[in-house]
Structure 1
Amino acid sequence: MPRLALYTFGVLKSPLADPAPLTRDFYDHGEAIYRRMGRYPGHLGHAEAAAGDRGGHFDLDWGAWGEFAVPAWYDRGRTAKTVALAASLSLWTGLRPAFDAVYTGLHREALKRRHDWFERTEHPNHVFWWVSEGTTPTWQDGVCRLEHLHDHGPAPHAFTFHHAFDGEGTPTRLADEAT
């Protein structure tokens, strides 16, 4: 049975190492949200640095999730002191569980504040694609899919909640997916 991969990416208004209250607020929300997401029904796993560090992203060991990568349009820092991004890579049983996790609870509250923390861009901030059971998507997979979505629009190869495809590549809607 295929599994759903989700890659998210956003450019922050200030580096993660910035001691300002806004950055601390983002970190506090993020840590609580990650803990909560991991307990949602349908969540199968997410990329975490092997040592549990939240350093510069680029120099961390991500294990089976591969070397950390970012879209070509990211033009900010790449060191622990200058990184200004938030990215996630996760696996789900389907669209409905991912949607419920993203648009309810703590994450929904954080979405209401996204413009406080993130720069507005013309690029998509998330992408889905299906992977076969036993496959761990990599950061590079996520970047390639997000860039494909930006350049070509939604397709079975790379899609969004609003323009989704099932595991066989057929257009679908959340209402059509069994929970």
Structure 2
Amino acid sequence: MPQLALYTFGVLRSPLADATPLTREFYETGAAVYREIGRHPGYLAHAEPAAGDQGELFGADWGAWGDFAVPAWYDKGRTAETTALAATLSLWTGLRPAFDALYTGLHRAALNRRHDWFERTGHPNHVFWWVSGDVTPTWQDGVSRLEYLRDHGPAPHAFTFQRAFTPDGTPIVVSRRRGPGPAR
């Protein structure tokens, strides 16, 4: 059965190691969001470093999720002291559960604050694609799909909620009121 992969990427206004209240708030909010999303119906898994190293993105062992990777447009630091990014890689049962989890509750509240924490880069900040049930997407898969989305726009290979596709490549619309349906 196909599963939905989601890669998110954002450039932070300050490094993760920054001791400012705003960075602490980002971490605290993120931890609470992950706890809530992890209990959401339709959530399957997300990439976590094997040793649980917070801030050690590039050097961490991510297991089956592969080596940590970022889009070509990221031009800030890559050490624990200088890294200024937030990225996630997760698996979902489908578009509706992902939509419901990301646009409600604590994550919705965090989205409302995103400009406090993230730079406006002009690049896409998330991408979806379908994988077979026995595949674990890698960080490099997410980066490749996000860069494809930026360069070519939404397609069955790489898409967004606004322009989504079924596993067989049929365009669909994800509505706030009803689930996914045919594109018009």
- Does TM-score exceed 0.5, indicating one fold? yes
- What amino acid is the match of 1:125? N
Distance 1:176 1:152 in 2: 26
Q: CA deviation at 1:36?
A: 1.0
Aligned match of 1:53? 53
> By how many angstroms is 1:10 displaced?
0.0
Equivalent position of 1:177 in the other structure: 180
- 2:45 alignment partner, SS class: strand
Matched letter for residue 177 of structure 1: P
Q: Gaps spanning 5+ residues in structure 1: where?
A: none
Structure 2 letter corresponding to 1:46 = H
Aligned residues: 178
Per-residue CA deviations over 1:76-123 (Å, capped at 9, x if unaligned) read 000000000000000000000000000000000000000000000110
Aligned: 1:42 with 2:42: yes
Task: Give the C-alpha shift of residue 48 in structure 1.
Answer: 0.4
Aligned-pair CA distance for 1:176: 5.1
Kindly provide the amino acid, as one letter, of the partner of residue 78 in structure 1. Answer: R
* Separation in structure 2 between the aligned mates of residue 27 and residue 72 of structure 1, nearest angstrom: 25
Greater shift, 169-178 or 93-102, is seen at 169-178
1:86 match: 86
Is 4-13 or 50-59 further displaced after alignment?
A: 50-59
Aligned to 1:168: 168
Cα drift, residue 52 of structure 1: 1.1
Counterpart AA for 1:60: A
Local SS of the residue matching 1:98: helix
Q: Is the 8 A contact 1:5 1:89 kept in 2?
A: yes
Contact 1:56 1:81 in 2 (8 A): no
TM-score, normalised via structure 2 length: 0.95
What is the TM-score with the length of structure 1 in the denominator? Answer: 0.98
Letter in 2 for 1:57: L
Alpha-carbon distance in 2 for matches of 1:72, 1:107: 26
Q: Is the 8 A contact 1:26 1:117 kept in 2?
A: yes
Partner of 1:109: 109
Aligned to 2:12: 12
Distance, in Å, in 2 between the alignment partners of 1:152 and 1:56 is: 32
2:110 alignment partner, SS class: helix
